Amino acid sequence: MARLDLEALHREMTAWRRDLHAHPEFGFEEKRTAAFVAQKLREFGLEVAEGVGGTGVVGTLTRGSGNRAIALRADMDALRIAEQGTQAWRSQTPGTMHACGHDGHTSMLLGAAKLLAGEGGFDGTVRFVFQPAEEWGRGALAMLDDGLLERFPFEEIFGLHNMPGLPVGHFETRSGPVMSAEDNFEIVLKGLGGHAARPHAGQETLVAACALIVNLQTIVSRRLSPADIGVVSVTELVTDGTRNALPGLARILGDCRSFRPEVSAAIEKEMRRIAEGTAQAYNVAAEVTYTREFVPLINDAALVAEALAAARTVLADDAVGIAADDAVRIAAEPMTASEDFARFLTHVPGCFVFMGNGGTAPLHNPAYDFNDEALLHGARFHAAVVRRRLAVAA
102 annotated ligand binder = yes
Instruction: State residue 394's pLDDT score.
Output: 77
Distance CA 55, CA 107 (A): 17
Where among 294, 325, 340 does a domain terminate?
294
Residues 146 and 285 in one domain: no
Domain count, the chain: 2
Three-class SS state of 130: strand
21 annotated ligand binder = no
Where among 276, 294, 312 does a domain terminate?
294
Residues 105 and 18 in one domain: yes
Distance CA 192, CA 248 (A): 4
Q: Which residues have C-beta within 8 Å of that of residue 368, sequence separation ≥ 6?
A: 85, 97, 99, 100, 101, 164, 360, 361, 362
Residues 322 and 302 in one domain: yes
Residues 173 and 194 in one domain: no
Distance CA 114, CA 123 (A): 16
Query: Cβ(142)–Cβ(27) under 8 Å?
Result: no
Angle of helix 102-119 versus helix 31-43 axis, rounded to 10: 10
Check which CATH number belongs to the domain holding 249 and give it: 3.30.70.360
Instruction: State residue 23's pLDDT score.
Output: 98
In a domain, 254, yes or no: yes
Residue 315: band (very low, low, confident or very high) from pLDDT cuts 50, 70, 90: confident
Average pLDDT of the chain to the nearest whole number: 96
Partners of residue 73 on adjacent β-strands: 129, 159
Residue 318: band (very low, low, confident or very high) from pLDDT cuts 50, 70, 90: very low
Segment 257-266 shows an average pLDDT of 97
Where among 249, 268, 294 does a domain terminate?
294
Check which CATH number belongs to the domain holding 385 and give it: 3.40.630.10
Residues 346 and 271 in one domain: no
In a domain, 130, yes or no: yes
In a domain, 1, yes or no: no
CB neighbour class for 289 (10 Å; exposed up to 12, middle 13-18, buried from 19): exposed
Q: Is residue 275 scored above 90 in pLDDT?
A: yes
347 annotated ligand binder = no
More confident position, 316 or 47:
47
Q: Is residue 151 scored above 70 in pLDDT?
A: yes
Helix (H) or strand (E) holding 214: helix 206-216
Instruction: State residue 44's pLDDT score.
Output: 98
Residues 309 and 165 in one domain: yes
Distance CA 45, CA 298 (A): 33
Alpha-carbon distance values, 48 to 6, 45, 152, 173, 250 (Å): 24, 9, 11, 30, 50
Residue 324: band (very low, low, confident or very high) from pLDDT cuts 50, 70, 90: low
Closest to 287 (Cα-Cα) out of 251, 263, 254, 255: 251
pLDDT, tens digit (0-9, with 9 covering 90-100), for 81-101: 999 989 999 999 999 999 999
Residues 345 and 197 in one domain: no
Instruction: State residue 326's pLDDT score.
Output: 76
100 annotated ligand binder = yes
Show the domain range for 123. Answer: 6-178+296-390
Residues 130 and 210 in one domain: no
Q: Is residue 247 scored above 80 in pLDDT?
A: yes
pLDDT, tens digit (0-9, with 9 covering 90-100), for 168-186: 999 999 999 999 999 999 9
Residues 237 and 111 in one domain: no
Query: Cβ(162)–Cβ(374) under 8 Å?
Result: yes
Instruction: State residue 246's pLDDT score.
Output: 97
364 annotated ligand binder = yes
In a domain, 157, yes or no: yes
Q: Is residue 138 scored above 90 in pLDDT?
A: yes
In a domain, 123, yes or no: yes
Q: Is residue 323 scored above 70 in pLDDT?
A: no
Partners of residue 188 on adjacent β-strands: 251, 287
Residues 272 and 198 in one domain: yes
Partners of residue 160 on adjacent β-strands: 353
Q: Is residue 320 scored above 60 in pLDDT?
A: no
pLDDT, tens digit (0-9, with 9 covering 90-100), for 60-72: 999 999 999 999 9
Residue 319: band (very low, low, confident or very high) from pLDDT cuts 50, 70, 90: very low
Residues 152 and 23 in one domain: yes
More confident position, 260 or 322:
260
Q: Is residue 388 scored above 50 in pLDDT?
A: yes
Residues 290 and 159 in one domain: no
